Structure 1
Amino acid sequence: MTHQIPRSQVTAANDPSCDFPIQNLPYGVFSSDGAGPRCGVAIGDKVLDLAACEALGLIDAGGTFAAPQMNDFIARGRAEWDRTRARLTELLAADGPRDLPLLAMAEVTLHLPIRVTEFTDFYASKNHAFNVGVLFRGPENALPAQWTHMPIGYNGRASSVVVSGTDIRRPMGQVKGEAGPEWTACRRLDLELELGAIVGADSTMGQRIGVDQAEDMIFGYVLLNDWSARDIQAWEYQPLGPFQAKALGTTISPWIVTQAALEPFRSAGAPRDNDLLPYLREDRPGFYDLTLGWTMNDQQMARTNYTVMYWSSAQQLAHHAVSGCPMRVGDLLGTGTISGPAADQTGALLEMTQGGKVPVTVNGAPRTFIEDGDEVGLFGFAQGEGFRVGFGPCTGRILPAQP
């Protein structure tokens, strides 16, 4: 029997190369025609206006879709997520009702999809951790002793998380000079190819979260570029880790691809080096078969897969709360740089150029780090049979520093 691929009334959504078929239905926030930001769903080359759908009585989410961010809807919980997804699938199907409030995606402005309550960035790729460790400590001491026993992370700045398309200013800062610290514009500006998990439920202060509970708390994922000033970081990070070198900006894609849309692509991650403590053991694979990569000035630089990762987002969330730290709807957890074993699978120029020692060619010119005017883009998708579940663009352009 031939499997029938679900079709949408939006023609572009039925193209096998489209990021936003009816199997996806990612959520975002948009504005158009002078009206304020509200919630929507991407379908093909259109945006379904969810606030208008509520006003027309086509869907009921307690009025939360009229808000300028997704947090209020997300807070309604998993049963509501599932019910709404089923209803959206009915509305947008080939035989669904006509005259839906659909707008051309090219004519709307996309906004940050959530109010980011907190941002935590992890270090969950063994390839990336090893490659960077070799650069600074040699292969014998590349991985810290605790790395394969727990997800390592640091608390970043929610205030500098921005939506795709936002320009990023090259930072000024202190770097190590020959005679002491030097005040300068960053000379070693880098990207980091990551996924960001969006927490969809609160937890109680003083109570831990199991991995299974953590899995259930994740609403969905975005592409995430955690811009990094490597020379500033090298001077400031000991002993407490990254600070201003990571605060200049974190770019996320505007569409949240839900966990439900990615479920058919669930997969195992990298092999384990040792047994884990019980609170980090997963009963099922915690990763997805996602093709991920990045471009510079429209030239593809690297391509890898999420399955190379060592720590899943559920494990990261469970570890984040192991001390009793309360989690909140809208918390954003970055995976850390996603890198495969080869140079053309690395998620940062720091690795690709071996710390700036081996230039790469971008549009015919040698390059070690990001220059002013460069635009970096991330891409990601899960490939199904006759369709793909994609994230859409995640881009940022670098502006010159302000001395």
Structure 2
Amino acid sequence: MIGKLILEDGSVFQGMLASGTKAVGEVVFNTGMTGYQEVLTDPSYCGQIVTMTYPLIGNYGVADIFEQARQSFVRGFVVSELCGKPSSWQAEGSLISYLQARDIPCIYGVDTRAITRRIRSHGTMKGVIVSADAQESEIAELFGRPPFIEVVNEVTTKEVYRIPGNGPRIAVMDFGIKRNILNSMAQAGCDLTVLPAHTCAAEVLALNPDGIFLSNGPGDPKDAPVATVRELIGKKPIFGICLGHQLLALALGGDTYKLKFGHRGSNHPVKDLSTSRVYITSQNHGYAIEEKSLAELDVTVTHRAVNDETIEGMRHNSLPVFSVQYHPEAAPGPDDSTYLFEDFMRILNKEMNKARGN
């Protein structure tokens, strides 16, 4: 079936629909060469239509080991060439079948580079995926739908659950956490209790955790539970990534702003300011911390994006609190930054020894 992607500015890109389902959402782009299944199941993409810039998508198929959440939360998927016959020893099926079975709207055979250039020039914007013969009234109705801001509520766990371990007890605030983040902490030896996003601070502290982890997630950080994070600061060691990083900044008194087109991909260079070493990182965020807002706060910027100098990491100068903007566990992407989980473990052990009087 012939379809089209229509952007809010009136741009139209025609292609083929992998399914007949229509879609509406914020159109963004991801620059990763691989990892399309991880992208589809990263809850941070909730509410968005994702355009993959790499031309061939689906060539190694799909497999359960790449899943990052209980389901896909993307509103739509845009690719140039959609491979129907994958080749990989891990493949359990084709991407086309995967999309159709989950009713994920997908348009392929479009000029994804042109879409990306449009977004880079004009910023992210709303878009719709419809059939080529869609009526103007149907398109107008889709564009007229109000933005959905309760995205964290959509992606967070509905129930408290535990991943047992022999190490420090971690209360994980799930704002849209990826499976591999939990795997990385479990492999580090942590005993994890995963909590819904809107769990109050008293309930978190009632678990008497050794530390608190603030996860990645979708949407504007100002729509997430900033007040809860503010109550947790100073009570326990805290490690935040992505949305958790932004929430920490807001809770400490800083501010955030929306980037023109965000950072999404598995090839973003980030500089560690303490060593001058550059790490290649996996990223997925549309918001960043406002530099000026940290000037009077007791924090130090620890990492910066090489491409645009935005803040990619910070730590509190007197409390065991630190965060990064990128995804240190990758999935997809390089594992350059998995050392951050080890850093968290060192901080936890230091604070636990201090509490014991050692």
Q: TM-score range by the shorter chain?
A: under 0.3
TM-score with structure 2 setting the length: 0.27
Q: TM-score, normalised by structure 1?
A: 0.25
Of structures 1 and 2, the one with the larger relative CO (CA 8 A, separation 6+) is: 1
